[in-house]
Structure 1
């Protein structure tokens, strides 16, 4: 389990010549880190009388940030597992016509799973970005830079995940699946662009 490794060991494994873990797992990790930072800013705001008027909203943001952090942390390992499933499918026998058909079907199934996983990561990162931007605007001003970094990490995680979706789509033969996924990608990018711009605007106002 990647998330159970010491950080130094994880970095060593990441920098090895093994193709996994790779960019997909790191995108999920970036999102999880963003969720953690967002939660930290919330906890530095909740209970602070200076921010009494936003206690309820910040508490709700905290609960969602904690939930997203946990989900994204699980995706770190899940992305590597999805990649390994693709590799396993490619190694299936292909001597007979039946074996070839079974192998092709297994590859296509694994590729769709490998595309769906980072798409889910991207969606979670988008939610974290929205939370980080909101807590940056209303949360503890002393932790504003932390909220801004959380937003940037979520933004990076989203785009990193989408790169992994796109590269897998190139091998998927199901046209309907590809079209639906491409539509979701476009929606996520448009929403991210708006939220990212808002984050930078608020950061400029609050931090300078």
Structure 2
């Protein structure tokens, strides 16, 4: 599994001429890193008398962001598996007419899966970004830069995931599905823009 590799081994695999892991896995990893950094800031806040007033809120954030980090970490491998399913579908036989139809259907199913997965990653990254912004505002100020970086990682992971949604969506024939995904992406992008602007503003106040 990719997520269990040592960092140097993962980077070597990433930099090879193999098309996977690629941008989708890295987007999930960026989100997971953002979540883990957010969790770190939470743990540096909880238990300090200086932040007693926000302790219950930070504890609740910690529980959720730990769960999100785990989900995103699993998506690092899941994205590569989704890519492999698409490639396997394209390699199906296409001589006889029934083979062509079966291959076309398999490709569409694989592309839908490969579109839904990064959309889920983007949604998770959006939640991480939201929590990073909140922790930056109320958490341990000594770790403010870490919270800001956490938000930026989630922001990057979100947009990376959406690039993967878009490139896969273009191969899907069902117009209704395309419209639904486009609408979901628009909502994610709108909320990401708001949160990213807030992140920058809060970082400016807390960090300078």
Query: Scaled by the length of structure 2, what TM-score is found?
Result: 1.00
Alignment partner of 1:124 is 2:124: yes
2: distance between equivalents of 1:95 and 1:122?
38
Q: Deviations over 1:119-164 (max 9, x none)?
A: 0000000000000000000000000000000000000000000000
Aligned equivalents of 1:17, 1:116: Cα separation in 2: 26
Match of 2:189 in 1: 189
Q: Which residue in 2 is equivalent to 1:110?
A: 110
Task: Give the equivalent residue in structure 1 for 2:153.
Answer: 153
Please report how far the alpha carbon of residue 197 of structure 1 lies from its aligned counterpart in structure 2 after TM superposition.
0.2
Work out the CA distance in 1 between the residues paired with 2:3 and 2:77: 7
Quote the offset at 1:189 in angstroms: 0.3
Q: Which aligned pairs between 1:3-42 and structure 2 lie closer than 5 A?
A: 3-42=3-42
Offset, 1:45: 0.2
TM-score by length of 1: 1.00
Aligned residue in 2 for 1:179: 179
The structural deviation recorded for 1:3 is 0.5
Give 3-state SS (helix, strand or coil) of 1:44's partner.
Answer: helix
SS at match of 1:177: helix
Gaps of 5+ in 1: none
Matched with 1:78 is 78
Residue 111 of structure 1: CA displacement?
A: 0.3
CA drift of 1:15 comes to 0.3
* 1:162 counterpart residue number: 162
Give the Cα–Cα distance (whole angstroms) in 1 for the partners of residues 204 and 53 of structure 2.
23
Deviation at 1:46, TM superposition (A): 0.2
Q: CA RMSD in A?
A: 0.3
**Gaps (5+ residues) in structure 2?**
none
